[in-house]
């Protein structure tokens, strides 16, 4: 293991290249801009291609083309840019091209977008939310693995803090196990063979080699997402066994909450934390177990209340769930704002304990 000091965006770019990224098309938008800048410099040097797309829509469709040709491909922006990409993210789920999308978000108002999506059809998107840079490096590489394993789109959801903090990390290649051959990739060689290949959301196949058609194709894809939901849930939890209070948070917020909960435990509070690493599939059963003995479940997220829906769906009694986050911006419009502060989080937790109105 070799540690190198990197700015977050550069570490993620290095991790993606180590994972075999060959094509990236992006569009500048802070705080996702530096990821594009680093890849523009590093990707060609490693034999890949990086294009400054004219729009986010063009970028994501270019990446889907590169993925259809059988190469590891990605695009990225922040939440508003991803809004423009929704149609293509759904398309990649339904035509089964492995696509990785980085969202270096402006705060945490992207939860619904990442977990529900705004594209058309019965699709889901694996959404990985790292708490810090070492985990971001790991999850970036996992994203490419999962995309290839299941032929699905995968979102890596970071933020300004992650993108712009300098940390020493090991960006070397991780091995997540074998992958099936890309026998579906478009390489152009099967023309006239009677067995040429097709990538299409309808799954209708060709005249000589008919596919199952849209109903069966889409039902199969839905079943695939059901399998992913069962097998790919990832989470982190701490001190939940005897916790009266469990605090749920994701991404960088989860790291802050973890720190505060450690602190409060040291002072004798029966408190634990729970952090979904995969926002979809949401680790609902694990959350249910982790909160089985809790009297209150607090949700810290920097938005008006998005993940709290998934928390309420998965705890024993939704009435014990209470939000302690909120919309939180700084004047730059990029950062996580005044609520992303251990002192503030600690006070908000203590307020609910003292109030004891539950």
Partner 1 sequence: MTLIDTRQPPEQASRKVADYKPSLLQSEEHGLCPGCGEPVAIRVVLEVIEELGLAQNNIAVLGHGCYGGFIMLLDVDSTLCLHGRAPATATGIKRMRPDTAVWTLQGDGDMVNEGLAEILHATARGENITCILLNNGVFGDTGGQMTAASVIGQRTKNSIDGRTADDHGYPIAIAELVASLQGSAYVARCSVHNAASIAQTRRCVRKAFQRQTEGQGLSLVEILTMCPTGWFVAPEAGTDYLMESLGKTYPLGEIKDRAAAPAATAE
Q: How far is the CB of 69 from partner 1 (least distance, A)?
A: 4
User: Within 265-304, which residues bind partner 1 (CB under 8 A)?
Assistant: none
Q: How far is the CB of 179 from partner 1 (least distance, A)?
A: 18
Query: Does position 206 bind partner 1 by CB under 8 A?
Result: yes
Q: Which helix (DSSP H) or strand (DSSP E) does residue 104 occupy?
A: strand 99-105
Number of residues engaging partner 1 in binding (CB under 8 A): 49
Contact 136, 11 (CB under 8 A): yes
User: Within 217-246, which residues bind partner 1 (CB under 8 A)?
Assistant: none
What residues contact 32, with CB distance under 8 A and at least 6 apart? 9, 26, 76, 77, 78, 81, 102, 103, 104, 163
Give the span between the Cα atoms of 238 and 254, in whole angstroms. Answer: 11
Contact 20, 48 (CB under 8 A): no
Choose between 71 and 280: whose C-beta lies nearer to partner 1.
Answer: 71
Choose between 121 and 134: whose C-beta lies nearer to partner 1.
Answer: 121
Give the span between the Cα atoms of 260 and 265, in whole angstroms. Answer: 9
Question: x-or-dash pattern for partner 1, window 24-53, by CB under 8 A?
Answer: -x-----------------------x-x-x
HSE at residue 103, side-chain half, CA atoms within 13 A, is: 33
User: Within 94-153, which residues bind partner 1 (CB under 8 A)?
Assistant: 95
Contact 102, 225 (CB under 8 A): no
Choose between 61 and 109: whose C-beta lies nearer to partner 1.
Answer: 61
Query: Does position 258 bind partner 1 by CB under 8 A?
Result: no
Choose between 64 and 334: whose C-beta lies nearer to partner 1.
Answer: 64
Give the span between the Cα atoms of 32 and 125, in whole angstroms. Answer: 20
Query: Does position 20 bind partner 1 by CB under 8 A?
Result: no
Choose between 206 and 318: whose C-beta lies nearer to partner 1.
Answer: 206
Q: How many residues does the chain have?
A: 358
Q: How far is the CB of 38 from partner 1 (least distance, A)?
A: 19
Query: Does position 208 bind partner 1 by CB under 8 A?
Result: yes
Q: Give the SS3 label for residue 323.
A: strand
DSSP letters for 54-70: SSHHHHHHHHHHHHHTT
Query: Does position 201 bind partner 1 by CB under 8 A?
Result: yes
User: Within 57-96, which residues bind partner 1 (CB under 8 A)?
Assistant: 57-59, 61-71, 73, 87-88, 91, 95
Give the span between the Cα atoms of 356 and 43, in whole angstroms. Answer: 54
Q: How far is the CB of 207 from partner 1 (least distance, A)?
A: 4
Choose between 200 and 329: whose C-beta lies nearer to partner 1.
Answer: 200
Give the span between the Cα atoms of 140 and 169, in whole angstroms. Answer: 13
Binding site for partner 1 (CB under 8 A): 22-23, 25, 49, 51, 53-55, 57-59, 61-71, 73, 87-88, 91, 95, 186-194, 196-202, 204-208, 210
């Amino acid at each position: 293991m070799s540690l190198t000091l990197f700015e977050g965006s550069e570490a993620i770019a290095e991790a993606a290249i180590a994972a075999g990224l060959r094509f990236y098309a992006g569009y500048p938008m802070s705080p996702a801009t530096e990821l594009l800048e680093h890849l523009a410099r590093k990707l060609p040097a490693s034999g890949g291609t990086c294009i400054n797309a004219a729009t986010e829509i063009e970028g994501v469709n270019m990446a889907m083309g590169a993925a259809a040709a059988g190469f590891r491909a990605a695009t990225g922006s922040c939440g508003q840019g991803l809004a423009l990409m929704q149609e293509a993210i759904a398309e990649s789920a339904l035509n089964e091209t492995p696509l990785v999308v980085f969202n270096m978000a402006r705060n945490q108002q992207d939860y619904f977008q990442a977990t529900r999506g705004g594209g058309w059809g019965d699709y889901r998107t694996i959404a990985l939310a790292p708490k810090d840079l070492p985990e971001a490096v790991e999850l970036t590489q996992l994203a490419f693995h999962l995309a290839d394993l299941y032929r699905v789109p995968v979102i890596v959801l970071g933020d300004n803090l992650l993108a712009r903090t300098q940390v020493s990390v090991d960006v070397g290649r991780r091995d997540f196990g074998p992958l099936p051959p890309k026998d579906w990739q478009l390489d152009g060689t099967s023309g006239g063979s009677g067995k040429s290949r097709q990538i299409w959301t309808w799954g209708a196949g060709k005249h000589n080699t008919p596919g199952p058609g849209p109903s069966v194709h889409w039902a199969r894809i839905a079943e695939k997402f059901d399998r992913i939901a069962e097998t790919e849930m990832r989470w982190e939890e701490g001190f939940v066994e005897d916790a009266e209070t469990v605090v749920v948070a994701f991404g960088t917020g989860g790291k802050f909450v973890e720190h505060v909960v450690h602190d409060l435990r040291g002072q004798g509070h029966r408190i634990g934390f729970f952090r979904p690493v995969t926002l979809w599939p949401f680790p609902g059963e694990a959350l249910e177990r982790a909160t089985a003995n809790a009297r209150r479940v607090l949700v810290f997220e920097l938005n008006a209340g998005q993940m709290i829906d998934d928390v309420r769906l998965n705890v024993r009694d939704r009435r014990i769930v209470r939000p302690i986050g909120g919309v939180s911006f700084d004047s730059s419009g990029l950062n996580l704002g005044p609520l992303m502060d251990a002192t503030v989080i600690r006070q908000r937790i203590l307020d609910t304990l003292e109030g004891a109105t539950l």
